[in-house]
Structure 1
Amino acid sequence: MQQGPDSHERFLGSMLGGALGDALGFAVEFRGIEAIRERYGPDGVTGPVLAQGRAEISDDTQLMLFTLEGLVRAHVARRMQPVDNDPVPEVQHAYQRWLHTQGRTWAEAAGPYGVHLAEPDGWLIAQRELFAVRAPGNTCMLALIEFGRTHRQATPENAANDSKGCGGVMRAAPVAVWSHDPAEVFHAAVGTAALTHGHPSGYLSAGVLAVVVHQLIREVPLPDAVRLARDLLLRWRGHEEQLRLLDAAVELAERGPVPPEQLAERLGGGWVGEEALAIGLYAALAVPDARRALLLSVNHSGDSDSTGMVCGNVVGALHGVRALPPEWLDVLELREVVTALSRDALAEFSPAPPADAAWSRRYPAW
């Protein structure tokens, strides 16, 4: 009898599943469901839509990768100075490196981090494919540009704006590796999302997703993972809107798959944090396999790449890499980068993380 996926396979599945969902949805983002059906048939997209032989990812996967890299570098720093238990400054630094990939000079993007180096450092920034511009969200761009100018880090208490766009939740799943404590994971995910999104629904959605993935990696059943995340959500001010959509997603999933029109009526389009989380979770809860859940999460009139990302993060953690369609993975852009960084993260967060000079060059800590 085949064993189920272990925690490492589940985490890798979450990262690859998120990238798959992003790629599936990126092909139909900004299209209404009727336009999707007209172009791809009555069932909408049924697999990756290729551009030059690849399923292209969007800025969602790019930011997921930079979030994870920031967490790895924060953990390296914590090993050097155990009193430092806040990953948010290192994740901010990672986001400034992403901003540089989107056409901003390092002098513009670096902010206070430019004092140390004339150019951004580390392994991830050297992956030239990440310099592709894939419809980056204005809210993220403007918040990071402002940080580069003012050096002021945004927090829930000192918000960058009042945005509840989905740009905070779609990059939050990697925070699941930060701590064994789900409350600490929720807090860290909120902090990373609040760097660019200042409305509670923009950052609390990130906390919920990170905790759900955190629990799934530990083989907690999905309904129980959602319940724990819900309990933690209740501790935060301004949770009411997110709570309402979270509960609506769970209730709708009990009916199984519903038409896209009904999905939009109940959960919205996914353009904002609470809706993107709700649609992605609904799809993962509504159907038992990763392939169908991913397709359900992107075939609607809304922000399909972000809802696909959330769903992929969840179903990948739930079922492991083995459940992701191999023919889809074969054409996924940046698959090797996602895999390499995810495995590096698992090594860094292991009981015996690498300590050689090459690792420090790959993931500098400062």
Structure 2
Amino acid sequence: MIEHDYTRDQVVGCLLAGAVGDALGARAVDDRENHADHDDTAPAATFGRTGPVTDATRMTVFTAEGLIRAAVRKRERGICHPPTVLHHAYLRWFATRGSAGVASPHLAELDGWIVGVPELWRTGDPDDPGLTALRTGRMGSTDGPINDAPGYGALVRAAPAGILAARRRFELGCEFAAITHGHPSGIYPAGALAVIVGALVDGADLTSALDRAEGELREPPRAATTLTALRAGRSLGTAGIPTPDDLASLGSGDTGHEVLAIAVACAVGGYDRPGAALRASVDHPGARAAAGSVCGNILGAAHGTRWLLPTWLEELELREVVARLAEDCHRACRIGVPTEVDGTVTADWLRRYPGW
């Protein structure tokens, strides 16, 4: 039970810190766009508070929900195809945006508890080419790409895949990404993040976790760009917490592999100073919310929740939802879905997480 308590705190820390980094990055962008006064030499003062999260956190929530539903389906029926269940979860997310034209019978009835959370519903249609794939109702795969999108949209929702069994983390992380992103730079960073997060939750140190991710990226011939970016981020981080100029050398953050490199550089450089590392991950000209989210995932999986500042958590949008999903995902994927004496899934879990 002690081990379960420890890993639960890491899983909760992974998703909560990801949400904090997402919100800090979004706030940093807002501050810059509105010319807010701040001291560029003191990022701790600049990014000391949080607030609303972006779709990175919202889609992470639905990823976690999809994994729980897959575990329920496997327990109830003895068979499950997790990418299909995740696709249904992403279609539910898409419906919360008030998006029309989602061709899926699975949206005839939006079930489960998270679709009833008012804060998850926002009007508007995402413009990202990867997410636009959801509008078709079709599911992309690694063997059948749905587009050629290289963006970071799949990476920022990939952390929950690390909670799964070690032997399939990379494979499933890539398959989940391919649902909406068909380019290698959209797919392989997600698989790498799943491996990193999973290794840290298992008790590995960051060096070993990154080594495992590199090992997975050496095999697929089209993963070379992501492997090179990961190595560049690691190398930059060995010199300490990177400056904004340092991070700019890793790219603009428009693609999944660039965001992964920025996040890894900050996590490596400030591993023993996670608060400063997280602030650094959003203090650069690139995709701040995305880099903050991924860096937070890594640091949270390593350190749990104890380092997260009260001022970050007090104002964090969806804090309780993220924590609840993280705890339930840990239970379903690391311990087992709660069952009755006869082995069937409890009625409460079936109501909250229908197995489809």
Superposed CA RMSD: 2.2
Gaps of 5+ in 1: none
| 1:123-134 aligned within 5 A | 123-132=113-122
- CA shift in 2, pair 1:130/1:48, >3 Å: farther
- Aligned equivalent of 1:99: 94
- Aligned equivalent of 1:164: 150
Q: Find the partner of 2:165 among 173, 179, 202.
A: 179
- CA distance in structure 1 between the partners assigned to 2:70 and 2:283 by the alignment: 37
Q: Find the partner of 1:72 among 61, 68, 72.
A: 68
User: In structure 1, what residue type is equivalent to 2:350?
Assistant: S
* Structure 1 counterpart SS, 2:166: coil
- CA shift in 2, pair 1:134/1:219, >3 Å: farther
Verify the 8 A CA contact 2:43 2:280 in the aligned structure 1.
no
User: In structure 1, what residue type is equivalent to 2:21?
Assistant: G
- Over residues 260-291 of structure 1, what are the superposed CA-to-partner deviations in whole Å (9 max), with x where a residue is unaligned? 122112x1122210001111111010012221
The alignment's TM-score, normalised by the length of structure 1, stands at 0.89
- Is 2:268 the counterpart of 1:275? no
- CA distance in structure 1 between the partners assigned to 2:234 and 2:95 by the alignment: 39
- CA distance in structure 2 between the partners assigned to 1:56 and 1:18 by the alignment: 13
| 1:1-366 aligned within 5 A | 6-29=6-29, 39-43=37-41, 45-46=43-44, 48=47, 55-84=51-80, 86-105=81-100, 108-109=101-102, 111-114=104-107, 118-132=108-122, 136-146=126-136, 148=137, 152-181=138-167, 184-265=168-249, 267-287=250-270, 288-354=272-338, 355-366=345-356
Offset, 1:49: 7.0
- CA shift in 2, pair 1:38/1:29, >3 Å: closer
- CA distance in structure 1 between the partners assigned to 2:111 and 2:42 by the alignment: 42
Offset, 1:237: 2.8
Count of residue pairs the alignment pairs up: 345
- CA distance in structure 2 between the partners assigned to 1:126 and 1:255 by the alignment: 46
- CA shift in 2, pair 1:110/1:73, >3 Å: farther
* Structure 2 counterpart SS, 1:103: coil
- CA distance in structure 2 between the partners assigned to 1:153 and 1:320 by the alignment: 34
- CA distance in structure 2 between the partners assigned to 1:350 and 1:216 by the alignment: 14
- CA shift in 2, pair 1:134/1:173, >3 Å: farther
- Over residues 186-234 of structure 1, what are the superposed CA-to-partner deviations in whole Å (9 max), with x where a residue is unaligned? 1111011111111111110000001100000011000110001110111
Offset, 1:343: 1.1
Verify the 8 A CA contact 2:163 2:201 in the aligned structure 1.
no
- Over residues 12-39 of structure 1, what are the superposed CA-to-partner deviations in whole Å (9 max), with x where a residue is unaligned? 100000000000001233887xx79864
Verify the 8 A CA contact 1:75 1:349 in the aligned structure 2.
yes
- CA distance in structure 2 between the partners assigned to 1:45 and 1:124 by the alignment: 34
User: In structure 2, what residue type is equivalent to 1:97?
Assistant: R
Offset, 1:44: 6.2
- CA shift in 2, pair 1:210/1:133, >3 Å: farther
- CA shift in 2, pair 1:137/1:342, >3 Å: farther
- Over residues 295-343 of structure 1, what are the superposed CA-to-partner deviations in whole Å (9 max), with x where a residue is unaligned? 1100000110000000000000111100111221111111000011111
User: In structure 1, what residue type is equivalent to 2:132?
Assistant: L
Gaps of 5+ in 2: 339-344
- Aligned equivalent of 2:342: none
Offset, 1:123: 0.8
Offset, 1:112: 3.9
Verify the 8 A CA contact 1:59 1:135 in the aligned structure 2.
no
Offset, 1:185: 0.7
Verify the 8 A CA contact 1:123 1:363 in the aligned structure 2.
yes
User: In structure 2, what residue type is equivalent to 1:271?
Assistant: D
- CA shift in 2, pair 1:169/1:30, >3 Å: farther
